[in-house]
Structure 1
Amino acid sequence: MLLAAQASAPTPPAQTTPPVVVGAPERPTTTPGEPDRTEEDVQRSSASADVVVTARRRTEQAQNVPIAISVVGVKELDNTGSFNVARLQQLQPTLQFYSTNPRNSSVNIRGLGAPLGLTNDGIEQGVGVYIDQVYLSRVAAATLDFLDVQQIETLRGPQGTLYGKNTVAGAISITSKPPSFDFEGRAEVTVGNLEFKQAKASISGPLTDQIAIRLGLSSTSRRGTVFNVASGNYVNEQDNIGLRSAILWKPTADLSLTLSGDYSRQNPECCAQTFVRVGATQRPLNRQFDALAAAQNYEPPSRNAFDRLTDLDADLNAKNELGGLSLRGEYALGDGTLTSVTAWRFWKWLPANDRDFTGLPITTLSQNPTRQDQYTQEFRYAGEGRGFDYVLGLFGFYQDIHTTGTQRQGSAASRWLINPSSALANDPSVLDGLTASNDIRLKNFSGAAFAKVNWNVTDTITLSPGARLNYDDKVGSYVSIVRDAAGNLVPATGGTARQAAQRDAIQPQAFRDEAFREWNATYDLTASYKPSRDVLLYGTYAHTFKSGGLNLNGVPVVNGVVQTQLAQIDPEKVDHFEIGLKSQFWDRRVTLNLTGFWTQIRDYQAVVNNQSTSTLRGYLANAGKVRVRGVEADFSIRPSDRVTLYANGAFNDARYLDFPNAPCPPELSGGGTPTAANPSIGAPGQPGTNSPIVCDISGQWLPGISKFAFSYGGEYNLPATVLGNPGEAYVGVDANSRTKFSSNASRSIYTDIDGYTLANVRAGFRTDSGVNVFGWVRNAFDTRYYEVLATTPGNTGLIAGNVGDPRTYGVTLGASF
C-alpha cells in the first residue's frame, strides 16, 4: 500500500496473488529500457521478483521501487501462524512488538516508534498502522486478528509525503481482499494443543453486473498459558472474534466505490505477569520485596517464571472492542486517478488489572476504561505527465478520547507502602479503600497537505522530491480525585500525617484544557539509479517530525502545586539518511537487497525526571538526542520449482546520544535524597543509601532492540497425488533469532533479556484445486524466553515479566474455490 517491497518467506509464483487496485488506471509493469518479460521468465523467477506494489500510484514490481519494505502474503501468514501483529514480528527482523495488554502495546521499526512500556493518550505513535488505507491512531486498536487479508506491507523509514498521517519510523499497511465479480470463497479450520481453535472463512461474488460483495469472519480461542492458583483459572488466554464486509459498486469503467465495515472483539481473562526475580534496590532493606513479603507471611507460588504460575487476587480482564466504517472512491480523471477515503473508527477498552503483581491485597482495583472515536478524510490525485508522475493530497484527522480510570488500595497496602518505622504502617485502615478516580480527555485534530513527484531525468536516473505541511491541535485534561475509604477528599497539600501518607500512595492532581498547537513542515528527496534491468541503487534524505503532545498520565506535584508547565511535549525533530541496493541475478531466481540507514532524533519523547521539580516521579517530556543506525539484508533464492529459501537480517545500533535527566534503573532507585550534609550516592543495589534524582544514560541502548536479528527458512515440495487429487507434498521451516536487548527505559542489570531462537515447522499436502492440509509445530524446541520484563511500582525490587508461548502444535485444514 505504501512504497516498495521485499518478500519475506517467499511462496511459489503460482500461489502469489498480486494486490488489486480497483478503479486505478492501467500502468506499465516495466521500467524504461526494460524488455517485456515472457511467461517463461515469470515461471523461472523467484516469488520476490513478482511482488507487485502500487506505492507510486501505478502497478510496478517491488524491485523497481527505491524504498525498503517487507511484504507478507496470505500464504506466508497462514503457513507461519502469523494471525496478528505480535506474530508478524517473527518474520521481520526490524519490526518489534511489545505488549503487556492491548492498551499497553507498542510497535517499533528499527527501534523507533513509541518508548517501550509507555502508554499515553497525549502523544502520537511513530509507526503508522493502516487497514485498507485507513490510519489507526493507537496501536491498541491494531491488536486485532488479521481478517481476510491479502497482504501486509511493513515500510521502514519516515513517511508522510505520499499520503495519510506523518510517521517517523515507518508503517504497517494491511490490505484486505477486495470484493470480486467472480464467485469465490475460502475456509480454514485449525485445532491444536492448549485447546487452540481457530476458524476463518470468506466469500465473495457479484450481486449485479455493477455490484460485488465480500463477507469474512474469524474466531480464535485458546486456553491461557499461565495458571492462577488464586482463582483456579488459566489466564492470558485468547478469545477473539472478527467480522468484515465490503461492497463494491462499479457503475462505469472509470469509477468505483467501496463501502467497508468491520468489528473485532477480544475478551480474554488477561493479562498476568509472573514473578521473575528480586533485584536489590537502594531502599532500606526492610522496605524491599523479600522483607515486606515475609512481614505478611507471603511467598509467591513459584520463583521460577517458567512454572507459569501466578496468584493474582484482583480481577483480570482485557476486553477490547474495535471497528468502523470506510468509504473509498476511485475515479479515473484525465491522466490520473482521484481517490477519496472517508472513515470512522472506534475503540472501546474495558480492562481490569492487578498492578501490585502479587497475591496480596495491595492494589485491589486498577483499570483505565477508554472510549475513542476517530474520523479521517483523505483526498489524493495521482497523475502522470511527460517524463514524470506525481501525487497530490490532503489529509484530515480528528480523534476524541475519554478515559475514566480507577485505582483502589487494599488491606495490605499500609504495611507494603508506608515506611515500617511509622506507626501508620501497622494500621491497615490508613490506605485500605483509598481510591483515585481519574478522568482523562483529549480532542486531537491534525490536517496536512502533501505532494510527491517522480521525475525521470533519464531512462536510468529518477529524482523524487516530496513535501508536507502539517498542523496539529490537541486539547486535553487530566483530573485525579483521591478519597479515603469513608469518601473524604485527600487534599493536594497539608492535612494530617494520615493524609500525607495517603497522598504519598496516590497523588491527587488536576489540570484542564491544556493545549498544544503547532505547524510543521516535512520534506524528503530520493535519487535512484537503475544501470540494468535487475539492479537498482538509491539514496534518501528525509527531514521530518513526530508531533508534539500533552502529558496525560499526570505531571509532578511540588508542595501541592501541579507543574502544568510540564504538560506539553515538543515535537521530535528527525533527520534520516538511507542508501539501498536492490538486485536480482541467476535469471531472477536470486534476490539480494541491502539497506543502510542513519536516523537522528532531537527532542526525543520519553519518560524523564527533572531535578528542578524536586521529585522522583517520572513524567513524559523531551529527552535530548537519540541515534539509530544499521544495515539490513534480505535474501531469497529459488533454485528450482521444488525449493525456496530465504534469510533476512538486521544490524541495529540504537542509542541515547544525550539523555542526562533519565529515570534511574531499579538498582539506583528507592534510597534517600542526597543533601548537603550527606551528598554521597550509594553503590547500585546497596540498601539504605542515597539514590540519584536523575541518571545520565547517554550512550546506553534504546530499549527493546537487539543489535542483531534474523529470520530465515524455506520450503521443499514434491508432486504428489492423494486420493486421486493431484498436488504437492511439502515441508517448511521458519525461524527467527535475536540477540540480547534491554527491557527497561533506563537499562538495568535486572531487566536485560537474553537472546533466543524460535523455530516453526510445518508439513502437509495442497492440491491444485485449493485444498491445503498441514500439521505444524511452533516454538518447536520449546525455547524459554521473555517477551517483556518490567519493574513493578514502589522500588521494592520485584521484577515481573511476560513469558513467551511454550511449544504449540496442531493441524490446519483449508479450502478455497
Structure 2
Amino acid sequence: MSLASLSLLLLAGASPSAIAAPRLDPPVMVATDGANDDPDAQQAPAVQDRNDIVVTARRREERVQDVPIALSVLSGETLADSGAFNVNRLQQLQPSLQFYSSNPRNSAINIRGLGAPFGLTNDGIEQGVGFYVDGVYIGRIGASTFDFVDVERVEVLRGPQGTLYGKNTTAGALNITTRAPSFTPEAKIELSGGNYNFIQAKSSVSGPLSDQVAVRISTSGTTRKGTIYNETSGEYLHRQRNIGVRGQALWKPNDAIDITLSGDVNIQSPDCCVQYYARVGATQRATNRQYAALATALNYTPPSTNPFDRVTDLDASINSRQEVGGASLVANWDLGPATLTSVSAWRYWDWQPQNDRDFTGLPVTTVSQNPSQQKQYSQELRLASNGANTLDYTVGAFLFHQTIHTQGSQVQGSAASRWLLSGSDALNPNVLNGLTSTNTISFDNTSFAVFGKLNWEVAGGLHLQPGLRVNYDKKSGFYESVVSIHNSQYDFVATADNVAALLAAKPVGAARTTFQNQINTLAPQRYSPAFSDWNVSGDVTLSYDFSPDIHSYATYARSFKSGGINLSGLPLNSTSTGVDLSTQTVKPEKVDHFEIGLKTQFLDRRLTVNLAGYWTEITDYQATVNNNAINVIRGYLANAGKVRSRGFELDSSFRPSQRGNVYFNAAYTDATYRKFTNAPCPPELSGGSASPASCDISGQVLPGISKWSLSFGGEVNAPVANGGQVYFGYDGSYRSRFSSNPSASAYTWIEGYSLSNFRAGYRKDDFNLFAWVRNAFDQQYFELLSTQSGSTGLIVGQPGDPRTYGLTVSKSF
C-alpha cells in the first residue's frame, strides 16, 4: 500500500463507524433492521410499520406512498450494498435517471431525458434537475460528483417541482438527506478493499455535548488504481483519489426549535476522464484529410483499435482535480399550526483540470482546459402547516446568488496544421504550432422566487393541490479570447480590438490566407452578454385515495427554465473576424407537463406497485450547436423549436417474508425533437465544403436516452445458529441502445447493455461482512461516444468500468 493510500485510509477511518443496518428492502424502499426477526412471529401491523417510509419530498414529513409525485427512495444501506457511492452510480438503480460525465465539470443529470443539453458544459445556463443536500441547492452539477458521506436517503423526484423547491426544477430533483446528529452516542465504521488496489473507508461518530447540543463528524476516503493504461506516461488513468469530511452541530434548546450548523469539504484528484480511439466513420472531408490518411501522413498508429483493451497513448496531462465545500445553517421553529424553516448556505467549487482534447498521441491540441471557481450564496424561508388538515400549505421565498470565474486556455501543437487545415498551410507545422487562445470568462447569476403549494381535501380522500411560483432571474457575463502565436515564422497577438487591423495588413495572397486560417482556428473575440426576465409558473394536482393503500393522482404543470447566456465563445460572423452577437443569449424553456399515477400496496403492504405515465413538451429547448465550425471544441447554445418526452414508469417490490425480497423497476422513455431545424449536423454530413451549416433533425431522438431502462434484483437470507444471518443479493440493470451525439449518427449509437452486481455475506446485530462483485460478467460498454473536433471521422469513447470485486466489513458501536 502506498503512503498516500495509507494516509487516506487513516484519515477516513479516524473515527469508528459502520454501515447502517443491512438492506432488506429493494431500492424503491427504505430499509429497516430486521436481521434477527423471526418470520414465524410476524404480525401484520409490524409489517405495515416497516413499510411506512417517511420522506420530505413535499417539504414536510409524509409517508412516501401518500405523496402524489413520481418518487423513488434509496436508503443509505441500499447505496452501500449496491456500491452506489456517488451520483454516477445512481442511474443503475433508477431507470428514469441519466447521468453523463466526460469529467466533473462536463456533467449532466437528466430525468426522463430532460434537464441539461448533451455535450460540453456552458456556464451560462441553468440545470433542469435540482440537486439538493440537506435542503441546500447545489448550483453546478460538477459540484455534485463527490462521494456520498453518511447518507440517510436519496429521494429522486420526477417531473417539475418548482412550487415546492427553492430553485425552479423543470425536470425533477435529487434530494439527499444525510444522517443528523444524535443525542445517543453512536459510532460507525466501514472498510472496503478490492481489485485495482481499491480501498474505501467511511466513518462517523455522533453524540451529545450537552442536553441541548449534539454533533456528528463523518469522513469518507476512496482510492483506486486506474483502469486504462497510458503507454505515453506509463500511468493508469481513471484512478480514484477522493476524500471528504462533514461536520454537523445540532442545537435543540426546546422541543419547538432545532438549529443545525453544517460544514463539509471534499477533495478529488483523479487522473480522469479519458476518451480515446473507439472507431472511425467517413465524413464529408476530402479523403486525404480524413483520419486514416492523416494518421498515415503523420506516421501515427494508435496502440490499439479495440477500446476494451483499455490502452491509450494520450500525450497531454490528464487530471480532474476539484475541491467542493461549504457551510449551511438550517433552523426549524415549530409554531404549533405550522413550522418555519430557514436554510442559509454558502458553497464553493474549485475546478483545476487538465485534458487531452485531440484524444490521440499526436500533438494536435496539447492544452484545452477551463479552470473555474464558483461561489454561491442562498437563502430560503419556508412556512409549512403541521399535521393533516383539510387545508395544508407550504409557502416560501428563495434567493440565490452565484459567481463563476474561469481561466480558459487552448494551445495547438505541431500536428495541428496537418490535422485541421487544407492546402499549403496544412504542410507547414508552424502555421498552427503554438497558436494559443487565453480566455477570461466571468458569470454573475441572481435569482429570486416566491412559491407556494396548497393541499385542500375537497371531500373524503379527494385532494386538490394547486401551486404557484413567481421567479426573477438576472444573468450577466463577460467573455474574452486573446489569440497569440510566437515562433520563427509568425508572431502576433490578436484581440477583438485589433484583429480587423491585423487582417487588413495582409490584404492579399498566402499571408492573408494563413492569418485567416489561424484566427478561424482560434478566434479572438470579446462580448458581455446579459439576460433578465420574470416568469410565472404553476401546477395543479388532483388526487384521490381509494383506500389507505391505493392512491391515484393527475397533474398538470406549466414551468420555465430560465433563459441563459453563451459563455463558451460565439460563432463567427460572415467576415470571420467578428462574432454573431445575436447568439449571446438563449430564451427560457417553456414546459407543459401532464402526468397520471397510481400508487398501490397489497398483501399487508408486502407488495408495492407504483405506476406513472407522463407527457412533457418543451418549447425553446436549450440545445448545443456548432454552426458547422469544424475546428470548434466547445459549441454554443441555441433554442430548438420543440422537444417532447413521454413515457411510463413502474416501481415495484415484493417482500414475501423476512427471508427475502425482490424488486423490479422499469422506464419507457420516448424523447424526440419535435422541431429542431438549426441543429448541428451528424459527423457523416460534416466537414466538407458543401456540408450544410445546420441540419433539420425534427423527429429524431434526443441524445443519451434509452427507450427502455430496467433495474431489478433482490435478496435472500437464512438464520444461522449463533443468531446471525447469511445472505445473498443481486442487483441488475439494463439499458437499450441510445444516441451519444446531439444529432443522431450511425457512428455514435451506444448499444444496449446490462450490468449485474452480486453480494454474499454474514451479518449479526451491528456487524456486517460481505463479498461483492460488480459488472460480474465484465460487460464491455461505453458511457459516452464523442466526435473529435475537425470532422476527421475519429470517434472516441469513454468505457465503463470493468468487472470489480472486493470485500466490505462494517461495525457500529
AA aligned to 1:41 is A
AA aligned to 2:412 is Q
- The match for 1:524 is 539
- The match for 1:110 is 112
- The match for 2:492 is 488
Q: Report 1:383-782 matches (<5 A).
A: 383-384=385-386, 387-419=390-422, 421-422=423-424, 424-485=425-486, 488-490=492-494, 492-493=499-500, 494=503, 495=506, 496-512=512-528, 514-558=529-573, 559=575, 560-608=577-625, 618-672=635-689, 690-721=690-721, 724=722, 726-768=723-765, 770-782=766-778
Distance across 1 between alignment mates of 2:325 and 2:287? 50
CA deviations 1:673-723 (Å, max 9, x no partner) are xxxxxxxxxxxxxxxxx21221110000000000011000000001114xx
Distance across 2 between alignment mates of 1:415 and 1:54? 58
- The match for 1:19 is none
- The match for 1:239 is 241
AA aligned to 1:737 is Y
CA deviations 1:480-513 (Å, max 9, x no partner) are 110012562136442433211211221111102x
Distance across 2 between alignment mates of 1:143 and 1:59? 27
Distance across 2 between alignment mates of 1:69 and 1:257? 28
Contact 2:653–2:664 (CA under 8 A) maintained in structure 1:
yes
Q: CA deviation at 1:616?
A: 12
- Relative distance call for 1:11 and 1:542 in structure 2 (3 A) is closer
AA aligned to 1:435 is T
The question of 1:310 aligning with 2:312 is answered: yes
Q: CA deviation at 1:643?
A: 1.0
Q: 1:808 aligns with which of 799, 804, 807?
A: 804
Q: CA deviation at 1:796?
A: 0.3
Task: Give 3-state SS (helix, strand or coil) of 2:211's partner.
Answer: coil
Contact 1:9–1:91 (CA under 8 A) maintained in structure 2:
no
Distance across 2 between alignment mates of 1:344 and 1:72? 27
CA deviations 1:392-445 (Å, max 9, x no partner) are 1000000000000011111111121121x32x2222211111100001100000
Distance across 2 between alignment mates of 1:65 and 1:708? 25
- Relative distance call for 1:201 and 1:15 in structure 2 (3 A) is farther
CA deviations 1:143-183 (Å, max 9, x no partner) are 00000100001110001111310011001111000000000
Distance across 2 between alignment mates of 1:395 and 1:193? 46
CA deviations 1:80-129 (Å, max 9, x no partner) are 00000011110000000011100111110000011122300000001111
Distance across 1 between alignment mates of 2:144 and 2:31? 29
Q: Report 1:146-225 matches (<5 A).
A: 146-225=148-227
Task: Give 3-state SS (helix, strand or coil) of 1:44's partner.
Answer: helix
AA aligned to 1:759 is S
Task: Give 3-state SS (helix, strand or coil) of 1:539's partner.
Answer: strand
Distance across 2 between alignment mates of 1:106 and 1:203? 33
Task: Give 3-state SS (helix, strand or coil) of 1:788's partner.
Answer: strand
Distance across 2 between alignment mates of 1:611 and 1:778? 41
- Relative distance call for 1:386 and 1:178 in structure 2 (3 A) is closer
- Structure 1 outlier segments of 4+, above 4 Å: 9-12, 609-612, 615-618
- Relative distance call for 1:207 and 1:39 in structure 2 (3 A) is farther
Distance across 1 between alignment mates of 2:626 and 2:797? 24
Task: Give 3-state SS (helix, strand or coil) of 1:292's partner.
Answer: helix
- The match for 1:40 is 43
CA deviations 1:202-252 (Å, max 9, x no partner) are 000000000000000000011111000000000111000000000001111
Contact 1:271–1:316 (CA under 8 A) maintained in structure 2:
yes
Distance across 2 between alignment mates of 1:187 and 1:458? 50
Task: Give 3-state SS (helix, strand or coil) of 1:516's partner.
Answer: strand
- Report the RMSD for the aligned CA atoms in angstroms: 1.9
Contact 2:87–2:145 (CA under 8 A) maintained in structure 1:
yes
AA aligned to 1:470 is N
Distance across 2 between alignment mates of 1:590 and 1:242? 38
Alignment length (residue pairs): 765
The question of 1:14 aligning with 2:36 is answered: no
CA deviations 1:753-803 (Å, max 9, x no partner) are 0000000000001112x1000000000011100000000100000000001
AA aligned to 2:526 is A
Distance across 2 between alignment mates of 1:350 and 1:14? 42
Contact 2:483–2:523 (CA under 8 A) maintained in structure 1:
yes
Distance across 2 between alignment mates of 1:46 and 1:280? 61
- The match for 1:683 is none
Q: CA deviation at 1:609?
A: 5.6
AA aligned to 2:554 is G
Contact 1:74–1:149 (CA under 8 A) maintained in structure 2:
yes
- The match for 2:334 is 332
- Relative distance call for 1:58 and 1:141 in structure 2 (3 A) is closer
Q: 1:342 aligns with which of 325, 339, 344?
A: 344
AA aligned to 1:476 is G
AA aligned to 2:261 is L
Distance across 1 between alignment mates of 2:236 and 2:219? 26
Contact 1:289–1:796 (CA under 8 A) maintained in structure 2:
yes
Task: Give 3-state SS (helix, strand or coil) of 1:168's partner.
Answer: coil
Q: Report 1:344-359 matches (<5 A).
A: 344-359=346-361
AA aligned to 2:678 is N
AA aligned to 1:505 is T
Contact 1:13–1:43 (CA under 8 A) maintained in structure 2:
no
Distance across 2 between alignment mates of 1:86 and 1:163? 23
- The match for 1:3 is none
CA deviations 1:506-545 (Å, max 9, x no partner) are 1111102x21000011100001001112100100000001
Task: Give 3-state SS (helix, strand or coil) of 2:519's partner.
Answer: helix
CA deviations 1:277-308 (Å, max 9, x no partner) are 11100100111011111001001110000000
Q: CA deviation at 1:556?
A: 1.2
Distance across 2 between alignment mates of 1:307 and 1:807? 14
Task: Give 3-state SS (helix, strand or coil) of 1:111's partner.
Answer: coil
The question of 1:66 aligning with 2:68 is answered: yes
AA aligned to 2:347 is R
- Relative distance call for 1:544 and 1:15 in structure 2 (3 A) is farther
AA aligned to 1:392 is V
Q: Which runs of 5+ in 1 are unaligned?
A: 1-5, 17-37, 673-689
Q: Which runs of 5+ in 2 are unaligned?
A: 1-24, 36-40, 507-511
Contact 2:673–2:699 (CA under 8 A) maintained in structure 1:
yes
- Relative distance call for 1:265 and 1:529 in structure 2 (3 A) is same
- Relative distance call for 1:708 and 1:431 in structure 2 (3 A) is same
Q: Out of 398-407 and 482-491, give the one that drifted further.
A: 482-491
- Relative distance call for 1:84 and 1:696 in structure 2 (3 A) is same
Contact 1:7–1:51 (CA under 8 A) maintained in structure 2:
no
- Relative distance call for 1:525 and 1:229 in structure 2 (3 A) is same
CA deviations 1:555-589 (Å, max 9, x no partner) are 11211222112101100000000000000111211
Contact 2:345–2:379 (CA under 8 A) maintained in structure 1:
yes
Distance across 2 between alignment mates of 1:518 and 1:428? 48
Q: Out of 291-300 and 426-435, give the one that drifted further.
A: 426-435
AA aligned to 1:552 is L
Q: 2:780 aligns with which of 780, 784, 791?
A: 784
Task: Give 3-state SS (helix, strand or coil) of 1:604's partner.
Answer: strand
